[in-house]
Amino acid sequence: MRTSMQSGSSVSHHSGKSPLIDNHGRTINYLRLAITDRCNLRCSYCMPEEGVDNISHDETMSYEELERLVRIFLELGVEKVRLTGGEPFVRKGCMDFLERLKHELGVKHLVITTNGVETARHIERLKKLPISGINLSLDTLNRERFKEISRRDRLEQVLDTLHRALAADIAVKVNSVVTEETSDQDIHDLGMLAHKNKLSLRFIELMPFSGEHGSKKQIDYALRERLNSLFPGLQECPAEVASTAKQFTVPGFTGTLGIIEGHSRNFCSTCNKIRITPQGILKACLYDNGVLDLKSMLRDSAADGEIMDEIRSCLNKRFANGLDTEKVHKRADQPSMATIGG
């Protein structure tokens, strides 16, 4: 079934070669592709510790279906594809899939978001692709805190991935979610990774997609003020077009620090990304409930041109920002981030 947001108009078979532009004039050239909702961690802000209802294998998009969708989006002008989850590397064949996307489909910028637990053994193949970048989720350098947050004792494996990726000269961004429990010591220790290493350490506002039922209380993190206090001389870099992060330099640092205002949603005006969930649902915004059931279209033998037209139709009804989206797409409970692809 297609969602109610789709257009009921007749198919016109637009050419896929023209840019994918939404109704607010934003060019969409970045696709986040969630290939699984399964994960080998149970981070408290993302998933409950127990009772996770995973999507069945039949309801999860096959690699063949995912490849067809990527081909369609490449025709629509997408240049950057990010694999997300869940944790992408818990799905068997993930590395082979990445290689097909790069070498057979010709994805220009191929990146991956990973928690690093099972990633270290793939670094050599990722370098050979070449992967355009790795986003590594890491919320603390303290082993006990890591165990508390992730409910697993896997910090050593994550740090192994980090060091191997840096040694291979792969572009690394470390993503760290800031919660009520995040201490200044956590922020300082993580930030110091950018002192001698060429990486970007980004602190992320907690969003209302948590592992608990219902939305968590939002708090004033004052992240900029905390960074100013912990890292004297902090200077904001000129903003990049379509960047979700505010970037900062620190005197004497090789890398940079950053803030991703996911809850404040201060980057919506330049948003260039869309998402596909593991179930094949197109999300025009992180805060919507899905705007098009792509998997059903594929399994109903829809032609590529029809799928392209429906995608364009949905993106022609996009909201200006995540706050407006959230007002319309109300939820009784916020979903786990693992089910919507981050």
Tens of pLDDT along 127-158?
A: 999 999 999 999 999 999 999 999 999 999 99
The pLDDT of residue 323: 78
Higher-pLDDT residue of 267 and 104 is: 104
Percent of the chain with pLDDT over 70: 84
Type of residue at 6 = Q
Predicted confidence (pLDDT) at residue 94 exceeds the cutoff of 60:
yes
Predicted confidence (pLDDT) at residue 331 exceeds the cutoff of 50:
yes
Task: Give me the helices (H) in 58-182, please.
Answer: 63-75, 94-103, 123-128, 143-150, 155-167
Predicted confidence (pLDDT) at residue 43 exceeds the cutoff of 50:
yes
Q: Residue 6 domain-assigned?
A: no
Q: How confident is the model at residue 16 (pLDDT cuts 50, 70, 90)?
A: low
Q: Residue 196 domain-assigned?
A: yes
Q: Residue 202 domain-assigned?
A: yes
Predicted confidence (pLDDT) at residue 9 exceeds the cutoff of 60:
no
A 10 A CB-CB count for 51 gives: 6
Q: Residue 11 domain-assigned?
A: no
Q: How confident is the model at residue 258 (pLDDT cuts 50, 70, 90)?
A: very high
SS3 308: helix
pLDDT digits (tens, 9 = 90+) for 301-330: 999 999 999 999 999 999 888 777 888 877
pLDDT digits (tens, 9 = 90+) for 201-232: 999 987 655 444 434 444 445 888 999 999 99
Report the domain count for the chain: 1
Predicted confidence (pLDDT) at residue 106 exceeds the cutoff of 70:
yes
Percent of the chain with pLDDT over 90: 70
Predicted confidence (pLDDT) at residue 240 exceeds the cutoff of 90:
no
Q: Residue 16 domain-assigned?
A: no
What's 120's DSSP letter? G
Classify burial at 49, counting beta carbons within 10 Å of its beta carbon; exposed 0-12, middle 13-18, buried 19 or more.
Answer: exposed
Q: Residue 327 domain-assigned?
A: yes
The pLDDT of residue 262: 61
Type of residue at 171 = A
Q: Residue 18 domain-assigned?
A: no
The CATH number of whichever domain residue 218 belongs to comes to 3.20.20.70
Higher-pLDDT residue of 179 and 52 is: 179
Q: Which of 2-11, 105-114, 315-324 has the lowest mean pLDDT?
A: 2-11
Predicted confidence (pLDDT) at residue 335 exceeds the cutoff of 80:
no
Ordered strands of the 245-249 beta sheet: 235-236, 245-249, 256-260, 200-205, 172-178, 133-137, 109-114, 80-84, 30-34, 273-276, 281-283, 292-293
The pLDDT of residue 207: 65
Mean pLDDT of the chain: 87
Q: Which of 158-162, 173-177, 194-198, 328-332 has the lowest mean pLDDT?
A: 328-332
Q: Residue 95 domain-assigned?
A: yes
The pLDDT of residue 119: 98
Domain that holds residue 45: 30-339
Q: How confident is the model at residue 263 (pLDDT cuts 50, 70, 90)?
A: low
State the sign of the Cα–Cα–Cα–Cα dihedral 17, 104, 96, 201. Answer: negative
Task: Please state whether the predicted TM-score (pTM) of the whole model is above 0.85.
Answer: yes
| Cis ω for the linkage preceding 86 (within 30 of 0) | yes
State how beta strands 200-205 and 292-293 pair: unpaired
Q: How far apart are CA 5 and CA 293, in angstroms?
A: 10
pLDDT digits (tens, 9 = 90+) for 170-191: 999 999 999 889 999 999 999 9
